Copies of this chain bind each other. A is one copy, B any other.
Amino acid sequence: RCLRLGVTMAKSKFEYVRDFEADDTCLPHCWVVVRLDGRNFHRFAEKHNFAKPNDSRALQLMTKCAQTVMEELEDIVIAYGQSDEYSFVFRRKSNWFKRRASKFMTLVASQFASSYVFYWRDYFEDQPLLYPPGFDGRVVLYPSNQTLKDYLSWRQADCHINNLYNTVFWALIQQSGLTPVQAQERLKGTLAGDKNEILFSQFHINYNDEPQMYRKGTVLVWQKVDEVRTQEVRLPAEMEGEKMTVTRTRTRPVPLYCDLIGDAFWKEHPDILTGEN
């Protein structure tokens, strides 16, 4: 909202309708999580020829968008994505936009969506984008570190369960020629062990050798990164105008493909929960 000038304008008699806007401040000291989900991404994936069961281009584009969200918005300390969803965690004591839930979720959703179209061609070179996609979002509050960790564990467990299923499902279709209905029938009632067994015995796939990004999803955390740039630098007269390589250290959202459920991750990254990064 900035095409207006910073002057006090006349007010109309209709001004009273502003009072109908409800206050949706998030409870202080709680972790604020915004989760986005692609809208109708089953159809979107079909139309854009996504590889099955995982399309690495699509996953990397999602991560690029999430990185943009983290860089453009304030106070996001960690993000986690898998499939067509991404979760963003704002620090407990964030006072960004006075903690208004609607600001958090719409700014995440709109920045993510505009980035998705903006960066599409960097990931889908040969596949034009046919229409602009939508994403729905929600805000959920977690009052303690434990509940926040359990939230992220929930999403990662969901990733595992879905990816194991999808890996077998599509192997049965792509390699054994089953129809989707037959594949679904074959998997009905099977446990994780059964699915691993089918993969190994029937397709010689060791599930644990599948790419981490597919099995674990993507964790985005802030890390110091050395950035090397070539830029024109102002120097003493005799060297003026010279191009030089400049290295500077910046903090960037970096993707990790690691376990979030155990304690190890949180011990390695204590700053995330203390909010002191």
User: Is A270 in the interface zone, CB < 8 Å from B?
Assistant: no
Name which of A34-42, A207-215, A229-237, A250-258 contacts chain B. Answer: A34-42
Contact of A109 among B15, B106, B161 (CB under 8 A): B106
Q: Tally A residues with Cβ within 8 Å of B.
A: 90
Q: Find out whether the CB atom of B134 lies under 8 angstroms from the CB atom of A184.
A: no
Distance to closest chain B CB from A63 (angstroms):
15
- Chain B nearest CB: distance from A132 CB in Å? 4
Check if A103 sits within 8 Å of B136, measured CB to CB.
yes
Is there an interface contact between B143 and A27, defined as CB atoms closer than 8 Å? yes
- Flag whether A227 is at the interface (Cβ < 8 A): no
8 Å CB contact of A14 from B15, B105, B107, B154: B154
Determine the distance from Cα of A15 to Cα of B157 in the docked complex, in whole angstroms.
10
Flag if A4 contacts B83 (CB, 8 Å).
yes
CB of A198 within 8 Å of the partner chain: no
The answer, among B22, B106, B112, B133, for a CB contact under 8 Å with A27, is B22
A19→B28 contact, CB < 8 A? yes
Instruction: From B45, B105, B144, B166, give the contact of A29 (CB < 8 A).
Output: B144
User: Do the beta carbons of B140 and A20 come within 8 Å of each other?
Assistant: yes
B106→A21 contact, CB < 8 A? no
Output the nearest chain B residue to A58 by Cβ-Cβ distance.
B3
Number of copies of this kind of chain in the complex: 4
- A124-147 to B contact mask, C-beta < 8 Å, 1/0: 000001011111111111111001
Interface membership of A1, Cβ < 8 A = yes
Query: A interface vs B, CB < 8 Å?
Result: 1-5, 7, 9-10, 12, 14-23, 25, 27-30, 36-45, 68, 72-73, 83-85, 97, 101-103, 105-107, 109-119, 129, 131-144, 147, 150-151, 153-154, 157-158, 161-162, 165-166, 169, 184, 187-188, 191-192
Given A12-B153, A19-B28, 11 other A-B residues pairs in contact with their CB atoms under 8 A: A2-B40, A2-B41, A3-B84, A14-B150, A17-B150, A20-B29, A102-B136, A106-B137, A114-B114, A114-B133, A118-B132
26 residue pairs from A and B, CB less than 8 Å apart: A1-B136, A2-B44, A2-B84, A7-B187, A9-B158, A9-B165, A12-B158, A14-B153, A17-B151, A17-B154, A20-B142, A21-B138, A22-B140, A23-B25, A29-B147, A72-B134, A103-B136, A106-B135, A106-B136, A110-B113, A110-B134, A110-B136, A111-B113, A113-B113, A114-B117, A144-B144
